């Protein structure tokens, strides 16, 4: 970026708070320059065409072999620097997409608008949306390595995968034989100073109810209930924080209304993404006009109880009620009863902690989405577990909930976990490099999140893998932020690791 470009963008910043270029002043400049460019490119899961063109064009401009495979992954090969040709081939891996989450009062179109950024107390944040540091910082680091003509490294492959956040379909579509690497460095972890050597597997579960609806009884009034202000977060990394789930909260309110006042449900829309803890939910309901005031009084009482329960974890919780026009049709009473019982019975949060690693979640479920479309009601979950049998048991429990509610249930998009290998040669190398560089040993850890290492490792048996990254907090939520100082250490560690890769 030229000085004129910088001055032009700075002037725009004064007119439009969504345009911030302060991150261009941060070190390392090459990485932050690439990250800034990525914030200009909309890239929610499923809309990676523009960012794919960006990185593929960058590789070709540098004169490197660049491949776009059948599913849209980009592979860029950079030759070794002189004297390093005999080193083992390293794959740097990051994903192109980001999670699109925003606050209810933020106007932002993730398919069109750039991400606005700011620096606050040593952290880079976004303006009411997810930042995209997950996995934009990893992408930016890989692009900086490709661009540099001063780093020492052996033969490199950079793999940018698509659609990681919405199903890992890029990693799943990567064919055996495409990569030549012997070591994979996944740049998608979120704690600086931690080397991740294992992760949980995942499975999507969806319950479906069909309905036609019935006419609204005469003499009714209608309200919309909105649950908002929850922190949400990553459905794996933050699932142990005890944060509120908007779908569970809404279900408690609707159950109270149904059991005490016979409310009818016209529509519901809760949660947004399978891998984000639900932050918001809205429901339109109908109740007898003679019971409306009593219902609102009890609703206010319930809202106070729930707010007290979540005061420590979600002090920003808001439960709002507003009158609306009475809809033409509502969901049948029997179906509403079965839906409410199913959502109440569906597991959510931590199911089991690891018996091997203290504090690590082994198995969890995120009750991610509850929505109606006029014809069907769906309840969507993301199951995670590091243990295959535990995943099967959890699926059995959710399947049993669906069966009792007379709903159909489908499990799909399963992906494997990644089993830690304490004898990993690259783990030994990186532990020594980190100790020499920073004067202490890194922490070795497995994570309760889905990493593409498990899928890629299944297609490439014997691939030696480590995942690491800078310190990112609250990914998959508008509170996402990345610590500036940790980005510099992360890049320094990556550069030192590439220089220390052993010979074949």
Active centre residues (catalytic): 97, 164
Helix count and strand count (H, E) for the chain: 12, 23
Neighbours of 246 (CB within 10 A): 27
Distance between CA atoms of residues 249 and 226, nearest Å: 10
Cβ contacts of residue 53 below 8 Å, gap of 6+? none
Nearest to 425 by CA among 466, 386, 396, 484: 466
User: Do residues 79 and 155 make contact, with C-beta atoms less than 8 angstroms apart?
Assistant: yes
How does DSSP classify residue 115?
Answer: P
CB burial of residue 210 (10 Å; 0-12, 13-18, 19+): exposed
Which pair of structure tokens corresponds to residue 437? Answer: 């560089």
DSSP-derived pairing of the beta strands 183-186 and 90-95: parallel
Between vectors from CA 28 to CA 22 and to CA 30, what angle results, nearest 5°? 85
How does DSSP classify residue 331?
Answer: -
Distance between CA atoms of residues 140 and 467, nearest Å: 16
Distance between CA atoms of residues 7 and 13, nearest Å: 10
Which pair of structure tokens corresponds to residue 306? Answer: 């729930």
């Amino acid at each position: 970026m030229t000085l004129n470009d910088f001055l032009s963008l700075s002037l725009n910043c004064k007119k439009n708070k969504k345009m911030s270029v302060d991150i261009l002043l941060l070190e390392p400049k090459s990485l932050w320059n690439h990250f800034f460019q990525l914030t200009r490119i909309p890239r929610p899961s499923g809309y990676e065409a523009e960012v794919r063109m960006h990185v593929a064009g960058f590789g070709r401009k540098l004169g490197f072999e660049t491949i776009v495979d059948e599913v849209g992954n980009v592979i860029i090969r950079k030759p070794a620097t002189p004297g390093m040709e005999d080193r083992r081939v390293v794959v740097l891996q990051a994903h192109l997409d980001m999670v699109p989450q925003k606050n209810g009062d933020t106007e932002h179109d993730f398919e069109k608008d750039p991400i606005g950024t700011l620096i606050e107390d040593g952290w880079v944040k976004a303006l009411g949306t997810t930042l995209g540091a997950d996995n934009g910082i990893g992408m930016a680091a890989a692009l900086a390595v490709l661009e540099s003509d001063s780093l020492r490294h052996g033969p490199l492959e950079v793999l940018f995968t698509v659609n990681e956040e919405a199903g890992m379909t890029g990693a799943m579509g990567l064919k055996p034989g495409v990569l030549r690497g012997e070591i994979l460095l996944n740049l998608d972890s979120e704690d600086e100073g931690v080397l991740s050597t294992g992760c949980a597997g995942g499975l999507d579960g969806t319950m479906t109810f069909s309905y036609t609806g019935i006419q609204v009884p005469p003499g009714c009034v209608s309200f919309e209930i909105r649950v908002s202000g929850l922190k949400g977060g990553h459905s794996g990394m933050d699932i142990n924080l005890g944060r509120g789930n908007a779908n569970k909260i809404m279900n408690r309110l609707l159950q109270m209304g149904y059991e005490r006042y016979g409310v009818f449900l016209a529509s519901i829309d809760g949660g947004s993404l399978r891998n984000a803890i639900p932050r918001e939910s809205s429901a339109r309901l109908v109740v007898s006009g003679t019971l409306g005031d009593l219902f609102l009084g009890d609703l206010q009482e319930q809202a106070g109880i729930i707010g007290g329960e979540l005061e420590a974890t979600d002090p920003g919780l808001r439960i709002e009620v507003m009158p609306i026009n009475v809809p033409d049709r509502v969901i049948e009473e029997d179906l509403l009863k079965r839906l409410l019982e199913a959502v109440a019975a569906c597991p959510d949060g931590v199911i089991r902690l690891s018996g091997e690693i203290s504090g690590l979640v082994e198995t969890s479920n995120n009750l991610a989405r509850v929505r109606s479309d006029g014809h069907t009601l769906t309840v969507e979950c993301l199951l995670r577990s590091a243990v295959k049998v535990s995943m099967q048991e959890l699926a059995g429990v959710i399947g049993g909930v669906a069966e009792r509610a007379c709903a159909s249930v489908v499990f799909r998009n399963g992906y494997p976990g990644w089993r830690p290998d304490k004898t990993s040669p690259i783990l030994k190398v990186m532990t020594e490099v980190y100790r020499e560089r920073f004067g202490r040993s890194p922490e070795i850890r497995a994570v309760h999140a889905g990493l593409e290492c498990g899928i890629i490792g299944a297609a490439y048996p014997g691939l030696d893998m480590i995942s690491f990254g800078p310190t990112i907090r609250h990914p998959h939520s508008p509170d996402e932020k990345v610590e500036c100082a940790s980005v510099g250490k992360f890049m320094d560690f990556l550069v030192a690791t590439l220089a220390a890769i052993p010979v074949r």
